[in-house]
Amino acid sequence: MKFIKINRDTWYRKEYFEHFLNQQTTFSITNEINITNLMKNLKKKDYKFYPAFIFMVTKIVNSHREFRINFNSEGTLGYWTEMCPCYTIFDKKTHLFSGIWSPCTPDFTEFHTSYEKDVEKFNGTGSLFPKTPIPENSIPISMVPWSSFTSLNLNIRNGGDSLNPIITGGKYSEVNDEIFMPVSLQIHHSVCDGYHASVFMSDLQRMADDSADWIS
C-alpha cells in the first residue's frame, strides 16, 4: 500500500477540486441493487451476506482511483494504491455498534474467513473502535439491516479534509421473487462527480449479477 501525491497545480481536476472543496459540497445517490443471484450463490456455499457486500464495495473502490483520493495524516493530497474496509458491526445486547477493519484481499473466501475472525474477536467490546490503529487507507462501510430507505445522507465534516466515499446498505426486500437492497453512496464533489457515482452503482450491480465468478 502506497500513498501517491497529487500535484494540485497541474492536476486536470484542479478547478473542480478547489471549487467544490471550498464549498464543501457533498452529495449522495441511492440505488436499489438486485441481489437475487448474489443471495443464491452465497446460500450455495453457506456464506454470509454482509462480508460479501463489504468485499464488493472494497473491490470497486480499489478499481477506481477517484474513490481513493484523500488527504493523508500530513495534509497532503493524493491517492492510496489500495484501500481496506472499515465497517460497522452490531452488538445485539447493548444495541451499540463498533467500527472495525479487515485486511484487503482479492480472494473472497480468504476475506470471509478474516471477517469472521475479526467479528468474533471485537464484537461486544463496548468500544467504538476496538481494533486499532485504524489504517489511513480505509473506506467506511456500514449496514442498516432493520430498515429500507429510498435516500440516506451521512456527512463527515472533520475540518473539510475527509474526501472518502461513504457506503451504506439497507434492509432488502422481495418483489416478484427477486431481492432488492438499497445502497447509498455519499461522496465529496471535489473528487467525484455524478458520472463516478453511476460507475460505482453499475459495478456493484454487475458484481452481484456475476457473483458466481468470485464466490468460490
The secondary structure of 19-49 as a DSSP string is HHHHHT-EEEEEEEEE-HHHHHHHHHHT--H
- The active-site residue out of 112, 188, 189, 196 is 189
Contact partners, residue 175, CB within 8 Å, separation at least 6: none
Question: Maximum Cα–Cα distance for the chain, whole Å?
Answer: 53
DSSP state, residue 100 = E
Q: Map residue 65 onto helix, strand or coil.
A: helix
What's the CA gap between 30 and 26, in Å, rounded? Answer: 14
Q: Does the active-site annotation cover 189?
A: yes
Residue 111, CA atoms < 13 Å, CB-side half-sphere: 25
57 within 8 A of 114, measured Cβ to Cβ: no
Q: Name the phi and psi angles at 181, rounded to 5.
A: -130, 130
Q: Which three cell numbers stand for residue 137?
A: 487507507
Residue 77 forms beta bridges with which residues? 71
Q: Which residues are catalytic?
A: 189
